[in-house]
Amino acid sequence: MQLYFELSNLKKTNQSVADYLQKARLIADSLASIGEPILDIELVQAILGGLGPDFEALVTTLLVRSEPFTFEEVQALLLNHEVRLEHSRALFDSYQPQAHYASNPRYTSSSHKKDASTPK
């Protein structure tokens, strides 16, 4: 009963996708070892249900497919999505210093205004 509870309450917090999937697979394997195997679709549903907002668009896309995904397919898609998220965050972070500079310049353009009487 404890293993079913763990599976139904599975949540991806701050761990990597690989660690999250490993935990899910471990629960499924433990259930199988005591003679209570679960279907791939049940495992996939538990995995998708425990993902956070960073994965919402992917989960929505996966749920509209008429054929169920296997664990391996979902694993590949989630790992790929995690890489894309990390890449996007890295790009966003690389623009932060520029955004900070643009919003907080050392001097203002008004300190460099030419006198209106100065010829151009």
Instruction: Taking residues 21-33, report their average pLDDT.
Output: 98
Tens of pLDDT, residues 43-72: 999 999 999 999 999 999 999 988 999 999
Per the structure, the complete domain to which residue 35 belongs is given by 2-101
Residue 119, pLDDT > 80, answer: no
Cβ atoms 31, 38 nearer than 8 A: yes
Q: For residue 109, tell me if it sits in a domain.
A: no
Domain count, the chain: 1
Distance from C-alpha of 3 to C-alpha of 38, rounded to nearest angstrom: 11
Higher pLDDT, 43 or 98: 43
User: What pLDDT was estimated at residue 19?
Assistant: 98
Q: For residue 118, tell me if it sits in a domain.
A: no
Q: What is the mean pLDDT of the chain?
A: 85
Q: For residue 81, tell me if it sits in a domain.
A: yes
pTM of the model: 0.73
Q: For residue 111, tell me if it sits in a domain.
A: no
